[in-house]
Structure 1
Amino acid sequence: MELANYIVENKATVRAAAKKFGISKSTVHKDVTERLMKINSALAEEAKAVLDKNKAERHIRGGLATKAKYKGKHGG
């Protein structure tokens, strides 16, 4: 529940949550989508919504990171 609350409150990505709690990304995903559903389905749904939104926006963040990387290297 602490993990899910962190994700919801901080709009955290799977990667950020995994790093914060010292666990793998797959554990974050499994805990939120499977284990938490049995304990607190409302919180699980809320956290899953944040993770799904982050997943949908992942390609945008990746593109921006690549753009910044090459802008710095090539002085452009």
Structure 2
Amino acid sequence: MDEAIAQRCIAEARYMLRHRTTIRQTAAAFQLSKSGIHKDMLQHLPQADAALAREVSALLAYNKSVRHLRGGEATRRRYAQEKSRKSAECLQFPENTLY
């Protein structure tokens, strides 16, 4: 394996473990694709650093186990934001209307 790829994989893995991030968040931080990060973590990292690969694998398993909770929380926040936006719109009155 190319040394540059190995170093990139190790840097990505350390970032994931230090910040407890998901594949998507790591991809955004490194400005790479999710599939590229995923391939680095599952195929290249075990060849570069097996111990680090086991730690990342445990983090990925945890992220997968709580994925349904994160999705539900995101949906709840989105609908709460829409509800507050709609209620704010209802409180605004047109300027030229007599009440």
Whether TM exceeds 0.5 here: the answer is: yes
Please state how far the C-alpha of 1:74 moved relative to its aligned partner.
2.5
Q: Which has the higher contact order (CA 8 A, sep 6+)?
A: 1
Give the structure 1 partner of residue 91 of structure 2: none
Q: Deviations over 1:14-70 (max 9, x none)?
A: 000000011111111110111010111100110121122112111101101101111
1:51 corresponds to which letter in structure 2? L
1:16 lines up with 2:25 in the alignment = yes
Residue 5 (structure 1) aligns with: 14
- Structure 2 unaligned segments of length 5 or more: list them: 1-9, 85-99
- Structure 1 runs (4+) deviating above 3 angstroms are none
Which has the greater radius of gyration?
2
- Unmatched runs of 5 consecutive residues or more in structure 1: none
TM-score for the superposition, normalised by structure 2: 0.71
Cα-Cα RMSD? 1.4
Alignment match of 2:40 (pick from 14, 31, 41): 31
Cα distance between partner residues in 1 of 2:12 and 2:44: 12
The alignment of Structure 1 onto Structure 2 pairs a total of residues equal to: 76
Structure that is richer in helix per residue: 1
